[in-house]
Structure 1
Amino acid sequence: MSPQLRYRYMWFPMLLVLGLALSAGRVAAASEETGGSDSPPAAKQPTLAEALDLPSIPNARCLKCHNDEDEKTSEREDGTVINIYVDRERFEHSVHGSQPCVGCHNTVKKAIHEIPLPKSIGCVACHLKVAEMQHGSSDPEYRRLDVVLSQIDGYMASVHARPNLLDQSKTNATCYDCHDGHDIGTVGSAARAEHRGRIHEVCGRCHEEEKERYATSVHGTAVIEKQNAGSAICSDCHTPHNIDSPERTKVKLAITENCGSCHQKQVETYEKSYHGQVVRLGYTHTAKCYDCHGSHGIMDVDDPASKVHPNNRLETCRQCHEGAPEGFLGFHAHGDANDFKNYPEMWIAARFMEFLIVAVFLFFWTHMLLWIYREWRERRQGKGYRVDPANPPQVYFRRFSGGWRLAHGVLAIAVMVLVLTGTAVLFAEQAWAQYVMNLLGGPKVAAVIHRVAAVTFATVFFGHLIVVIINILRAGKGFRWFGPTSMVPNRQDIRDIGAMFKWFFGMAPRPKFDRWSYWEKFDYWAPFWGMMIIGLSGLMLWFPTVTASFLPGWVFNIATIVHAEEAILAAVFLFTVHYFNVHFRPEKWPMDIVMATGAVPLEEFKHEHALEYERLKASGELEKYLIKPPTERARRAGRKVTGWMIIIGLILAGLVLKGYFDVLSGH
């Protein structure tokens, strides 16, 4: 063998070894990437065509025929004309541009197919299959597909997915009736904007009358003539996929809410009105946005054809308020109590009520805290009144008769019902308000309950006045308006307030009181103010047609403000300050059952009303008020009734305060 041939054969094993080494390196690298040589190779993600078991027909082959601009339509056997032209460029830039044609046209098994194709496009099935393929994927497109799935759920529950009344074999509308499958633009694309601008034409294929009215409306002219893409289109109000009959409650509520997408400020003011509050609670038999402004044919407020133009507004109000007088025209449907320039009377009323609330609670909560501190200090020093459990009192003083106790109980229940039903409407945005309304049977039933409670309250209130007047007449000249037994405030009450604050700060002993202390007189007279403010404003709102016959419409705005604010003041005062005065003071804790039994221990009476005790004792009248202790059964019943009244009152106070402070904080 020649040396040249020998060298040539030596190269062969060297190249073989080198090739094996390189192959081993590649295998090792692949092993590292897959987690070791024992790991199975990564599964290949199936394509849409593979997942749906579709024939392998490239899109380019389809577009050879369907991209022909000279042949854009074809006719079916039933005579319907269909568009068969596909703009290659627009399709390739659409959301479906990377998908195979046969993914939608799933009856096509070969390129040369039946002409024309039967309707068999399965948008829902395809999207569901793709979602299943990509389940758990981190691809942003999968997250977008998740949105599509929610849209499918909405569509399947919508009126469009239901069988057509004229042809039960067909649905009312399919995906491709609204969407051009070959030209669905990506989010933010020009194609998407174009589709939005012509959506009224798409909807108008079925809803012709609505389309015609929309075209002349303030929304339609903005979109069609002014090319304003931000103006409302059909799907902004009706939603794109969850479309249902506008007669259904959920649709009425959704459309009203959707108005706020563009008219946020107007919806905010609307929701502060009674109309808006009950709508938020699910009641739709009241004025909603489109009831006053119109729907498809809505016009600008200044347009003479508008339903809310000054010339037409009264007729619009009369749709619900039959026989409404011209006074209704002064009502501010979107009045804002924070806008002094445009609504000065509302601003003044709101600020006055806010000042009143702050002033009342600043004084009485301070009074309450100081009282707690002083009684706590004195009880630690062994002062004040306390019951010895080992020696229960054997003599009681009769303070309230059965008639007054019954009136107090009925009044208390009426107030609690009024607070519950009233504040549930006032704070309609609160979750508890919706729960209460559902429990009561809805806003309509709650309104009846509220008014029954109001009439009950008024009956007890005016009935008590009649009894008081009769008692005064019977007393004749012997009645002293500013005497020790009178509820009329006098100069002694002013002196007692000063003396009480001196006691709070340890500057003087606790003052002595006659039959009625100054805080008891305040508790008595407070309902007179509340009855005047809440009662009169409530009557005005209850009978708007009568009110507007002799007062301007803006009084409804004022009445709404003062009715709500005074109700908050009354409720919180009753369930905090009044409860403290009667039940929560250290000397009274945890409750005082005098309104249940009508009597108090004589020693407690001497401590609380020393001047009356001394006066009755000096006149010899004390004995006729002294009675035996209430039975244990009566005391136990009194504790149960009083305890429940306290618990309910505190719950109501908590709900009112939460709603009030949420409103103040803008929640």
Structure 2
Amino acid sequence: MTSNGEKMETSAKSLIFPSLLLSLSFLLASGGLAQTVEDCLICHGDESLTTMDSTGKEISLFVDESIFANSIHKILGCTGCHKGVEAEMHETPPEPVNCGMCHAEVMELYQAGFHGQKRLEGIMDAPTCGDCHSYHNIRSVDDPDADTYRGNQPKMCARCHGDVRTISKYQIPVPAPYQAYMQSVHGKALQEENLGVAVCSDCHRSHDIRHSSDPASLSHRGNVASTCGLCHPMEEEEYSEDIHGKAVKKGNPDAPVCTDCHTTHAIKPSSDETSSTFPANVSKLTCTYCHSRERIYEKYGYVTQRVTPYLDTYHGVGSRSGDTTTASCVSCHTSHNIRSQEDPLSTINEANIPQTCGQCHEGAGPNYAKGSIHIIPTSRKDIGVYWVRQLYLFLIIMTIGGMLAHNAVIMVRYARDRYQEAKSGRVVRWTTTEVLWHFLLFISFVTLIITGFAFRFPDAWWSSWLTSSPAAFAARGVAHRVAGVLLIGLFFFSIFRSVFTKRGWQQLSARFPVLSDTRNVTQNVLYSFGLSSKPPEFDRYDYSEKAEYWALMWGGFVMIITGIPLWFETFFLGFIPKWMLDVAKAIHYYEAWLATLAILVWHFFFMFIHPENYPINFTVLTGTMTEEEYMEKHPLDYEKMIARGELIEEESEQSLEESEESG
């Protein structure tokens, strides 16, 4: 039995908890009588209520009662978070809100995270609790109207990580994660209300967000596979035994993880042509990023030249054409279970190659494994291909070299006869001065073209020798400028000679376009098509030569007035805006293309390819033409020369030079 004393003690103990609860209720009620939500809203319900923050910026103190009424914290009232308010009309601001009073563990995680650390460093733009959860509209993460709701998280994080000014101000390395995510396979699934898809907090956590360089971060290279494995466990399991996965476990910073192949935020399905895992992109871009880098070879010693031999095979050519059915890297090596060739479980192990190739080549047998897959002709490892290459290189050099030598002997004899014929000509087409002028123009033009385009295309096979070292690059620049000065000198010499000498004025006058040039174009076309039996009759210069001369003068003028500002860039930027210099650079570049193509297509045709001049028009070297050739090509001027007595027998070339100078 129980004594009366025991009963009284038990009865007293049973009253302790109700008494404490009653006292707490009284205290809360008495405090609430003075500071209810309604009391606070007397002032804070006024939309015009503002104050100044520590930076002098005006901030609103207005609280929307309807919003607060939907908050999960409404039961706490105002003073549940805003401590230190003892009177309705308080002059002293309340203490800063400390969410850690109730959420101590979460606050500890936040302060250890990247955002919390930045706040401690004084970066006040770093987000705090209220920036993500709101201040008076705090809702459950399961509430579709909450910013922290899974369907709303990307947009919430984008308030900072999608803001250009914030990204620029703090040099955030990932410039547009929100935009990339919303176009990704995850983002598109989320827009279709698939809440099971990965959102920001799944990969970066909610409160303990850490920098990717932090080993404790979910996005650290060593943790990426396990992070992705939360949704993709089968792929993670395969990758853990993969040659790359094992390297990552050993701390290798160059071994690829999920994000290296799939990207971080812009993950797209392999069926998307812009995806890094699209079949045609796997071999061209994704695997190539590591397996074609010399740095990887130098660091780890394994061959990085596998991609180029693949691209030269039937599979590689098909892949480059965009064929998604042809074998790519992953077709043979798999995606996540890549193993060493010596591994018995590897798909490229000699014992497994027939099965691997048999996926496409039905009936593939053991012979598929007897030979290299990625053949490198220069490697003695592929002994058969290596010696075939050596033999045929020798045969090609000897056979084709012999053919070239044989043909060169014939060509030299023919060219020598043509040269002697041109040299013995009686018609002075060009004087010695004009021949020298043309030769110097050729030197300057070729030098400008090679050194100029080498600057624009420094990695081309024909220009790499001009850009392979600082000294070579500097020499290229000097050569370009020297050739430019020579071109300027030749340009103004031609103008001076045309204006102030008799011979020069005669040449210039003969190059002026006349109405008969139009008729000659038509007649030449009709004659060439066999629609007329009469060829056109040209004067001293035909329409093609006139067009070329004036194109030369115009092009030279354009290149000079655009090239000089590019040479003396700092000087000219002292009085013209940069955009004008950019325009000059563009004109200089495209005019160079126009001039080069015009020379190749037009000038070289009449110099080397035209049947009447092949293999070369030697007039550019001798300055003379035979009487028969000149009479055939320029009959109108030939008659005038006879009348003027300008053949060599009548007036020597030397006398022409003397008359030119005296004129």
Structure 1 and Structure 2 fold alike (TM over 0.5) = no
Quick one: higher RCO (CA 8 Å, sep 6+), 1 or 2?
A: 1
TM-score normalised to structure 1 length: 0.36
Q: Which has the larger radius of gyration?
A: 2
